[in-house]
């Protein structure tokens, strides 16, 4: 399970992708792709398996607060 307390990235250009189900990216499915300023409140991201891959992609052009 994963939760974010804060989330603020450059919308559409800086993303966090949450993949679940497999040990590798090619064996996993996309649970969520997050970008922009989001209020995720008490939202939890849960994998039915024991595997979760978090992939952060950025174009490095605009800095926002990020996520935690």
In a domain, 39, yes or no: yes
Are 25 and 19 a contacting pair, CB within 8 Å? yes
- Residues 4-43 have pLDDT tens digits of 999 999 999 999 999 999 999 999 999 999 999 999 999 9
What is the strand order of the sheet 15-20 is part of?
A: 29-34, 15-20, 52-57
Q: What is the pLDDT of residue 67?
A: 97
> What pLDDT does residue 3 have?
97
Tell me whether residue 22 is in a domain.
yes
**pLDDT range class, residue 52, cuts 50, 70, 90:** very high
**Residue 1's pLDDT is what?**
95
Instruction: State the pTM of this model.
Output: 0.93
67 located within any domain: no
Buried b (16+ CB within 10 A) or exposed e, 12-47: eebbbbbbbeeeeeeebeebeebbeebeeeeeebeb
Residue 30 lies in a domain: yes
Structural domain contains residue 26:
yes
| Domain extent at residue 18 | 2-61
Residue 68 lies in a domain: no
Total domains in the fold of the chain: 1
């Amino acid at each position: 399970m994963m939760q974010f307390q804060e989330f603020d990235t450059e919308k559409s250009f800086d993303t966090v992708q949450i993949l679940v189900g497999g040990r590798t990216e090619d064996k996993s499915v996309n649970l969520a792709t997050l970008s922009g300023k989001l209020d995720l409140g008490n939202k939890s991201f849960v994998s039915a398996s024991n595997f979760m891959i978090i992939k952060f992609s950025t174009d490095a052009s605009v800095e926002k607060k990020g996520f935690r």
